[in-house]
Amino acid sequence: MDAENWTFKSMLRQYYETRRYFRDNLYFDTLPTYFKIELKKLEAIVNAFTDGHYKIHNEWSKIKVRELIENGFSCKHRLCTAELIDRLKAMLPYKEQIFEECKIERPTQDTFYYNLFLTVEIGFMYIDNIQMANSPASTLLVSDCNRSIKQIVKRENDKLIEIMLFMLGDKFRRYFTREILIEQWGFPANG
C-alpha cells in the first residue's frame, strides 16, 4: 500500500496486508525485500502514532505491534463504562445483539476493540476477494452485484473504524504525510 497521507485506516490496511508476518512463524531476515519494505512502512506509521521506537525485525517489537494494533493500543484491561457502552450503542444502533453480553458482564475496552478489529479485517478480506471476482471473465451482472456489495462492506468498515477511533481518542485521528514519515520515522523512501 502506498499513500501520500497515512491515517489510522491506512495503518490498519497496511497491517492487514502484512498480517501473516505477525501471525505466522516468519522471520524478518528471511522475507523478500518488497515485503520488508511494506513492514518498514507499517513500523514507521505505528511509531508515528504511538511516539514509539518499535523495530519490526525484533521479535519483541513484532509481538508488541500486533498487540497494539489488534487490541486497541492503550485500551488494555480497562472496563467499558456504562457511558461508553451507551455511546457505542448509539453508534451501532443496528447491532443490538453485540451488546447483549454487556448486560451480564461489562467487557474490557480491548476486548470490544478486538472484536471491531476482527470485523474490519473480515471486511478487508471480503473487499479483496470481491476485487478478484471482478475479473474480465466475470459477467456484467456478477460484477455489478459485487461492486454494490463492496460499497456496502466499505461503508460498514468505515463506520467500525470510526468507532475504533472514538475509543482510541483524538491522537489517532491525525494523519502523517509521507515526507514527515520519511524524515522523522524511518519510512522507506524507496517504498
Instruction: Give tens-digit pLDDT for 139-148.
Output: 555 566 667 7
Same domain, 131 and 58: no
Same domain, 125 and 56: no
Same domain, 64 and 111: no
Strand 176-177 to 5-6 pairing? antiparallel
33-50 and 59-71 are packed helices; what angle lies between their axes, rounded to 10 degrees? 60
Same domain, 33 and 109: no
Same domain, 21 and 87: no
Show the cell assigned to 50. 504511538
pTM of the predicted model as reported, rounded to 2 decimal places = 0.84
Same domain, 35 and 90: no
What average pLDDT does range 131-160 have in this prediction? 70
If one counts the domains in the chain, the total is: 2
Q: Is residue 94 part of a domain?
A: yes
The pLDDT value recorded for residue 47 is: 97
Residue 68 burial by CB count (10 A; 0-12/13-18/19+): exposed, middle or buried? Answer: buried
The dihedral built from the CA positions of residue 14, 16, 21 and 23, taken in this order, carries a sign that is positive
Q: Is residue 144 part of a domain?
A: yes
The pLDDT value recorded for residue 142 is: 56
One-letter-per-residue 3-state SS of 37-104: HHHHHHHHHHHHHHCCCCCCCCHHHHHHHHHHHHHCCCCCCCECCHHHHHHHHHHCCCCHHHHHHHHH
Q: Is residue 190 part of a domain?
A: no
Mean pLDDT of the chain: 86
Same domain, 92 and 122: yes
- Residue 45 near residue 191 (C-beta atoms within 8 A): no
pLDDT, one tens digit per residue, over 80-133 is 888 888 888 888 877 777 777 777 787 888 888 998 999 999 988 887 776 555
Query: Domain range holding 62?
Result: 5-74+174-185
% pLDDT > 90, the chain: 53
Same domain, 17 and 38: yes
Cα–Cα distance, 133 to 87 (Å, whole number): 37
Same domain, 110 and 150: yes
Cα–Cα distance, 50 to 117 (Å, whole number): 18
Q: Is residue 191 part of a domain?
A: no
